[in-house]
């Protein structure tokens, strides 16, 4: 019988009604009691790590989760992490870098409705997550609404529906049908995972809107080691307003810039239009291509904790990890 560690962090799945709205209040053991049958198929132990609404999740909490997996890695065959849905994709991406190349399943799941509600997706998501954690599917994934999504490719695309997550620019790893896992893709993994225990959180995100003031970008650069700019379409910056000069100045001062797109699917391509071509040809900004914004941010935090050397940062950024981008 497979040994699975259930790591609870809170979220809607473990929430109860309060006078001020839903708040986490159900323990890991309490979740298991409400989903009979799981412990008959696998041997489960619980780690009550956090009890957070995922809005309150921070990079320090990502490190706590990764540390919990590391300390227990040799004791268990797989891991299930219950988590709120709002920042679930960020945590899944971060764990993909912090626990690189895991040969064991590290499965994140949650719910759109608390487990105590009559109409809830919690129980099916938990059953599916344990099924995947007991399988031979390695690496970090999100299991939600009967889909298995790569940790670096997940994005929450619906705020209320049970089908809350999509895999962006990459196929689902598999699906669960009638209690059986149908695996389409198996992640690559090493014999031993490469654990990391540091992140540089000085990464900022600017969502470009028409009329954005250059001073906003200057402010972000002044407080950050790297800025991710979500531009329009295939990517670029306005030719007026001093944006090009701003980016150039801060690059020369040792900051890092990644251009990505606000469009969920198909990714960026800075070479298409003049507004993007100059950024890559003359300034050498990095480009996210088909990566999710969640993965870009987590990857930069992971990289910048390792090195600040521009050549090394660029090399690591463009080296695919857990299929977070197609090789360039």
**How many structural domains is the chain composed of?**
2
* Residue pair 168/265 in contact by the 8 Å Cβ criterion: yes
Task: Please tell me the predicted confidence (pLDDT) of residue 229.
Answer: 97
* Residue pair 293/259 in contact by the 8 Å Cβ criterion: no
- Looking at residue 271, which CATH number applies to its domain? 3.40.50.40
Q: How far apart are CA 174 and CA 147, in angstroms?
A: 6
Task: Please tell me the predicted confidence (pLDDT) of residue 17.
Answer: 85
Q: The dihedral of CA 139, 140, 143, 144: what is its sign? A: negative
List CB contacts of 146: < 8 A, sequence separation 6 or more. Answer: 124, 128, 175, 176, 177
Residue 190 sits in the same domain as residue 211: no
12 is catalytic: yes
Q: Which of 243, 323, 318 is nearest to 276 (CA)?
A: 243
The continuous run of DSSP H or E covering 180 comes out as strand 180-183
Task: Please tell me the predicted confidence (pLDDT) of residue 77.
Answer: 98
Residue 154 sits in the same domain as residue 297: no
Task: Please tell me the predicted confidence (pLDDT) of residue 290.
Answer: 97
Task: Please tell me the predicted confidence (pLDDT) of residue 99.
Answer: 98
Residue 44 sits in the same domain as residue 171: yes
- Looking at residue 80, which CATH number applies to its domain? 3.40.50.1170
Residue 119 sits in the same domain as residue 208: no
| pLDDT values of the chain reduced to their tens digit, one per residue, 328 residues | 999 999 999 999 999 888 889 888 899 999 999 998 898 899 999 999 999 999 999 999 999 999 999 999 999 999 999 999 999 999 999 999 999 999 999 999 999 999 989 899 999 999 999 999 999 999 999 999 999 999 999 999 999 999 999 999 999 999 999 999 999 998 888 889 999 999 999 999 999 999 999 999 999 999 999 999 999 999 999 988 899 999 999 999 999 999 999 999 999 999 998 899 889 888 989 999 999 999 999 999 999 999 999 999 999 999 999 999 997 7
Task: Please tell me the predicted confidence (pLDDT) of residue 314.
Answer: 97
Q: Which of 9, 12, 120, 292 is catalytic?
A: 12
- B/e letters for 126-138, b = 16+ CB within 10 Å, e = fewer, are bbbbbbbbbbebb
Reading across the β-sheet that carries 3-10, which strands appear in turn?
43-52, 3-10, 78-82, 105-109, 139-144, 147-150, 174-177, 180-183
Task: Please tell me the predicted confidence (pLDDT) of residue 273.
Answer: 86
Residue 14 sits in the same domain as residue 134: yes
pLDDT tens digits along 143-182: 999 999 999 999 999 999 999 999 999 999 999 999 999 9
In this structure, the dihedral spanned by the alpha carbons of residues 98, 146, 180 and 12, taken in order and rounded to 10 degrees, is 70
Phi, psi of 61 (to 5 degrees): -70, -35
Q: How far apart are CA 310 and CA 109, in angstroms?
A: 36
Task: Please tell me the predicted confidence (pLDDT) of residue 40.
Answer: 84
Q: How far apart are CA 292 and CA 9, in angstroms?
A: 23
Residue 174 sits in the same domain as residue 298: no
The Cα-based distances of 268 to 211, 229, 262, 273, 277 in angstroms read: 21, 12, 9, 11, 12
Domain limits for position 18: 3-195
Q: Is residue 53 part of a domain?
A: yes
Residue 156 sits in the same domain as residue 286: no
Reading the block at residue 36, the tokens are 């009979």
Q: How far apart are CA 320 and CA 328, in angstroms?
A: 9
């Amino acid at each position: 019988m497979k040994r699975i560690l259930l790591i609870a962090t809170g979220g809607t799945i473990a929430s109860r009604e309060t006078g001020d709205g839903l708040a986490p209040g159900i323990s890991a053991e309490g979740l298991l009691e409400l989903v009979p049958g799981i412990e008959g198929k696998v041997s489960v132990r619980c780690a009550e790590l956090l009890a957070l609404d995922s809005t309150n999740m921070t990079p320090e909490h990502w490190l706590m989760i990764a540390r919990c997996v590391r300390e227990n890695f040799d004791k268990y065959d797989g891991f299930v992490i219950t988590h709120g849905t709002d920042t679930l994709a960020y945590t899944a991406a971060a764990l993909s870098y912090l626990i690189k190349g895991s040969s064991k399943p590290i499965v994140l799941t949650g719910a759109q409705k608390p487990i105590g509600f009559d109409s809830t997706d919690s129980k099916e998501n938990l059953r599916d997550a344990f099924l995947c954690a007991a399988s031979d599917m390695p690496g970090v994934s999100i299991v939600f609404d009967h889909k298995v999504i790569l940790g670096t490719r997940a994005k929450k695309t619906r705020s209320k529906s049970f089908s809350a997550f999509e895999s962006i620019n990459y196929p689902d790893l598999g699906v669960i049908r009638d209690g059986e896992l149908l695996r389409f893709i198996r992640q690559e993994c090493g014999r031993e995972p490469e654990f990391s225990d540091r992140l540089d959180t000085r990464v900022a995100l600017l969502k470009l809107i028409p009329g954005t003031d250059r001073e906003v970008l200057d402010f972000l650069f002044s407080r950050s080691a790297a800025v991710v700019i979500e531009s329009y379409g295939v990517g670029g910056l306005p030719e007026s307003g001093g944006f090009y000069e701003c980016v150039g100045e801060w690059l020369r001062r040792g900051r890092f810039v990644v251009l990505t797109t606000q469009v969920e699917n198909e990714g960026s391509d800075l070479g298409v239009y003049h507004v993007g071509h100059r950024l890559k040809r003359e300034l050498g900004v990095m480009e996210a291509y088909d990566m999710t914004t969640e993965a870009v941010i987590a990857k930069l935090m992971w990289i910048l904790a390792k090195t600040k050397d521009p050549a090394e940062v660029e090399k690591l950024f463009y080296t695919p990890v857990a299929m977070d981008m197609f090789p360039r």
